Amino acid sequence: MLSRRATNTYLKSEEFLMKSFMKCYADPYCQQTNQDGMVNLGTAINQLCEDIISEKLNETGIFEHQPSWQHYFGLNGTPDFLQTLADFLTRKFTNDEDPISKENIRVVNGVSSSLEALAWSLCDPGDIILTALPTYSRFFADMQERVEAKVIGVHLSDEDDFELRPELFEQEILLRKEKGEVVRGILLCNPHNPLGKVYSRDLVMEFIDLCTKYDLHLLVDEVYALSVFDSTPFTSILSIPREEIPNPNLIHFLWGLSKDFGLAGFRTGVIHTYNKDLLKSLDGMSIFTSLPAHIQQVSVKLLGDQRWIDDVYIPTNHARLRESLQLVKTMLGDLNLRFIRPSAGLFCWIDFSAYLKKSTKEEEIAMFERLFEKGKVYIVPGTEFGCIKPGWFRIIFTVNPDVLKEGLRRIKEILISST
């Protein structure tokens, strides 16, 4: 009845993160009204600053309508929004050192949509994009489902705390080339999901060098860039001066409002590239990836309010992120679980393997199911993120503290009862 591709992609199975989110959404935990509901510590949503964001977005005059916005205006970025973004990215991502031009920015309806658009533009079906594992699993969905790029994971080892090593990528590139396969690019997630790591400038340069050497595109997903809550310096790809990049046409930056501002509901993704052909391709498909002018103009007001961002939002968000992480450490501390210390993001990556009967994927999934069905708490099992070693889980800590406590309590209960 449907096309083969639709049948194989969407009828035969359901993407894990979306499916789990929907299940939790159908039966959400509420301290007052639904104590048996699902506690969702699996979907990466930042609820910690809902109050501040609400206040900002309910300010008088934040939303308006102008006649020109009725029509086909700013499909891939209104002039105001592109300029605001140029200024914002220059200020917050390059420390005002490298002026970003609005000519090289495009806006699309979400970062998932951005990944899909880039994959379609850079890859023909079957062309390979490499990414480190464990990884945010929707990279596979976003670049493979409709546009049929092939995402290949490069395993990081839990023995060195999942250190990101460019040489592992080089090995994979050479292996694929030998097989006659086409590797088109590398997708780097920095800050990293799910590890919460922030990569050094040197490491970012190493990836630029690697991509230059093999003429590969470097896609850098920086959706958590402004959610670095310790003192680790963050090096955006945008802060590498153009002159230091041998082939700037290969470097593509992604960001959006979904994580750093907790505004997934705005469906706003931002792409920066120097590559004129890529910009042209994005323009050509802009009607499929378009964003309403009205939302863009609200975002102009939000991102344009430097004082609010620098003095209110970001410091508060960072403080609350630290507090929430501390809560996780406190409540799970006595279980002596190994975990990767996150510097950024909304989550931590924790090793439950000591509580698995056997160190196998099956046991990890069984643990996930116990947590989900019996414990009524959702956290993402490492298998879904392609982790080579069974037992790792990602816990989102950016929910209301009471909900977090309840979730952690449930996790603890299940873990202890597993022994």
CA distance 315 to 321: 10
Locate 66 and state its tokens: 């102008």
E strands, 49-202, are 105-108, 128-133, 150-155, 183-189
* Residue showing tokens 């501040």: 52
Question: Which residue, 269, 254, 25, 257, is CA-closest to 122?
Answer: 254
Q: Which of 252, 295, 28 is nearest to 121 (CA)?
A: 252
* Region of 135-143, 161-169, 225-233, 344-352 interacting with other proteins (CB under 8 A): 135-143
Exactly one of 27, 64, 311, 402 binds other proteins (CB under 8 A); that residue is 64
Among positions 116, 172, 221, 351, the unique one binding other proteins when judged by CB under 8 A: 116
From the CB of 283, what's the least distance to other proteins, in Å? Answer: 7
Site for other proteins, residues 257 to 286, rule: CB under 8 A: 262-268, 275, 277-278, 280-281, 283-285
Alpha-carbon span 367 to 373, nearest angstrom: 10
Query: Whole-number minimum distance, CB 203 to other proteins, in Å?
Result: 25
- Choose the binding region for other proteins from 134-142, 189-197, 225-233, 328-336 (rule: CB under 8 A): 134-142
Cβ neighbours for 215, distance < 8 A, ≥ 6 positions apart: 247, 250
Decide if residue 26 touches other proteins (CB under 8 A). no
Which of the ranges 97-105, 144-152, 171-179, 362-370 carries the binding residues for other proteins, by CB under 8 A?
A: 144-152
Enumerate residues 182-221 that contact other proteins by CB under 8 A: 184
Scanning 94-102, 115-123, 159-167, 360-368 for contacts with other proteins by CB under 8 A, the matching segment is 115-123
What is the spatial distance between Cα 26 and Cα 121, in angstroms, rounded to a whole number? 36
Map residue 373 onto helix, strand or coil.
helix
Residues 236-255 that bind other proteins (CB under 8 A): 249
Least distance between other proteins and beta carbon 97 (Å): 28
Exposure string over 302-329, b if 16+ CB within 10 A, otherwise e: bbbbeebbeeebbeebbebbeebbeebe
Tell me whether residue 219 or residue 340 sits nearer to other proteins (CB atom): 219
Please, which of residues 71-90 interact with other proteins by CB under 8 A? 71-73, 75
